[in-house]
Amino acid sequence: MSAAPTIFVDADACPVKEEIYRVARRTGCPVQVVTNSFMRVPPDVTLTVVDAGPDIADNWIAERVQPGDIVVTNDIPLASRTLKAGGAALGATGKAFTESSIGAALAQRELMEHLRSFGEGGGGPKPFSAADRSRFLSALDAAVMKAKRR
């Protein structure tokens, strides 16, 4: 097995930070939390506070992700950039972004932005559930094990 992957967390709206910390401790993965405002993190987690502004945290992560690393984000363009860099991208509900799914996800995002510009759509995401949390834990475990086998 190779070295443990770094888990990057696009943290500003991430509802599964505690789950990430638990999996990381159990699997020996370093965690890099990236945000544009200070937040408390455990002493074994690295916090990086970047300037506020669109895509600054995403750019910071995308510039540093290495093949085998894992990025936890709901940001589809960041997920796409992660895949291009050879990393794995997971949404907070445990949905893994893949080379085969990212194109459709980007297209749907564009369509929803277009509809919102006309006052359509909206409503935001569904409330985060216990099933989402459980699915995320399983998906993160699987992603770490896959990265360690690389």
The whole-model pTM stands at 0.84
pLDDT of residue 116: 66
Q: Are 78 and 71 in contact (CB under 8 A)?
A: yes
pLDDT of residue 2: 61
Please, what is the Cα angle at 98 between 66 and 69, to 5 degrees? 20
Domains parsed from the chain with CATH numbers: 7-117+127-148 (3.40.50)
Residues present in the chain in total: 150
61: left (phi over 0), alpha (psi -120 to 50) or beta: alpha
Name the phi and psi angles at 58, rounded to 5.
Answer: -60, -45
Instruction: State both tokens at 95.
Output: 């949905």
pLDDT tens for the chain, residues 1 to 150: 468 999 999 998 899 999 999 999 999 999 999 999 999 999 999 999 999 988 899 999 999 999 999 999 988 889 999 999 999 999 998 989 887 776 666 566 566 665 667 776 655 566 788 899 999 999 999 999 999 987
pLDDT of residue 98: 85
pLDDT of residue 75: 87
Residue 49's DSSP bridge partners are: 35
Contacts of 59 (CB under 8 A, 6+ apart): none
Name the phi and psi angles at 71, rounded to 5.
Answer: -115, 125
pLDDT of residue 128: 81
pLDDT of residue 139: 94
pLDDT of residue 145: 94
Interior/surface letters 15-28, b for 16+ CB within 10 angstroms, e for the rest: ebbebbbebbeebe
pLDDT of residue 62: 96
Residue 46's DSSP bridge partners are: 32
pLDDT of residue 135: 93
Going from the C-alpha of 128 to that of each of 39, 72, 80, 91, 131, the distances in angstroms are 21, 15, 23, 12, 8
